[in-house]
Structure 1
Amino acid sequence: MGSPIRTASQLLLAALAALSIVPSQAAQLVRIGAAHFPPYTVRPESGADTGLLPQLVEALNRLQSDYQFVLVPTSIPRRFGDLKQGRIDMAIFENPAWDWEKVPHVAVDMGLEDAEIFVAKNQIDGRPARQQSYFSDLSGKHLALFSGYHYAFAHFNAEPQYLVKNYNATLTYSHDSNLLMVLRGRADVALVTRSYLSDYLLRHEEVAHQFLVSERVDQIYHHYAILRPAAAISGEAFQLLLQGLRDNGEMLKIFAPYRIALVPVPHSHAETALPAAD
Structure 2
Amino acid sequence: MKSLPVRKAAGFLLAALACSVLPVQAAQLVRVGAAHFPPYTIRPENGADTGLLPQLVEALNRLQGDYQFVLVPTSIPRRFGDFEQGRIDMAIFENPEWGWKDIPHTSVDMGLEDAEIFVAQQAPGRQQNYFADLGGKRLALYSGYHYEFANFNADPKYLAQNYNATLTYSHDSNLLMVLRGRADIALVTRSYLSDYLLRNEKVRGELLVSQRIDQIYHHYAILRPVAPITGEAFGKLLQGLRDNGEMLKIFDPYKIAVVPVPHP
User: Which amino acid in the other structure matches residue 204 of structure 2?
Assistant: A
Q: Where in structure 2 are the equivalents of 1:1-278 lying within 5 Å?
A: 4=4, 7-8=7-8, 10-123=10-123, 128-268=124-264
Take 2:54 and 2:8, find their aligned partners in 1: how far apart are those partners? 51
Return the TM-score normalized by structure 1: 0.91
What whole-Å deviation, never above 9, does each CA across 1:251-275 have from its counterpart, x for those lacking one? Answer: 000000011111111112xxxxxxx
What whole-Å deviation, never above 9, does each CA across 1:191-211 have from its counterpart, x for those lacking one? Answer: 000000000101111111111
Q: List structure 1 runs of 4+ shifted beyond 6 angstroms.
A: none
What whole-Å deviation, never above 9, does each CA across 1:57-100 have from its counterpart, x for those lacking one? Answer: 00000000000101111111111221111111101111132121
Structure 2 residue runs of 5 or longer lacking an equivalent are none
Contact 2:96-2:107 at 8 Å conserved across structures? no
Contact 1:80-1:91 at 8 Å conserved across structures? no
User: Which amino acid in the other structure matches residue 95 of structure 1?
Assistant: N
Take 2:14 and 2:194, find their aligned partners in 1: how far apart are those partners? 61
Take 1:164 and 1:17, find their aligned partners in 2: how far apart are those partners? 69
User: Which amino acid in the other structure matches residue 223 of structure 2?
Assistant: L
Return the TM-score normalized by structure 2: 0.95
State the Cα RMSD in Å: 1.4
Take 2:98 and 2:257, find their aligned partners in 1: how far apart are those partners? 20
Take 2:197 and 2:121, find their aligned partners in 1: how far apart are those partners? 14
Contact 2:141-2:167 at 8 Å conserved across structures? yes
Take 1:22 and 1:223, find their aligned partners in 2: how far apart are those partners? 41
Please state how far the C-alpha of 1:14 moved relative to its aligned partner: 2.9
User: Which amino acid in the other structure matches residue 110 of structure 1?
Assistant: M
Take 1:228 and 1:177, find their aligned partners in 2: how far apart are those partners? 34
Structure 1 residue runs of 5 or longer lacking an equivalent are 269-278
Q: How many equivalent residue pairs? A: 262
User: Which amino acid in the other structure matches residue 107 of structure 1?
Assistant: S
User: Which amino acid in the other structure matches residue 85 of structure 2?
Assistant: Q
Take 1:186 and 1:129, find their aligned partners in 2: how far apart are those partners? 20
